[in-house]
Amino acid sequence: MNWINLNNEDQFRDLLTDQQIFAVFKHSTRCSVSSMVKNRLERDWSDKDIPVYYLDLIAHRNVSNLIADVSGVRHESPQLIVFNNGAAVYDASHTGIIAEEAGAFLDARL
In DSSP notation, 5-61 reads E---HHHHHHHHHH-SEEEEEEE-TT-HHHHHHHHHHHHH----SS-EEEEETTT-H
Q: How much is the pLDDT for 10?
A: 98
Q: How much is the pLDDT for 62?
A: 97
Q: Say yes or no to pLDDT of 57 above 80.
A: yes
52: domain CATH number? 3.40.30.10
Residue 80 · residue 95 · CB < 8 Å? no
pLDDT, average across residues 42-58: 87
Q: How much is the pLDDT for 65?
A: 97
Residue 7 CA to residue 73 CA, distance in Å, equals 19
More confident residue, 105 or 11: 11
Domain residue limits at 63: 3-109
Q: Which of 94, 95, 90 is nearest to 107 (CA)?
A: 90
pTM: 0.91
How many domains does the structure of the chain reveal?
1
Q: How much is the pLDDT for 110?
A: 57
Q: Say yes or no to pLDDT of 69 above 90.
A: yes
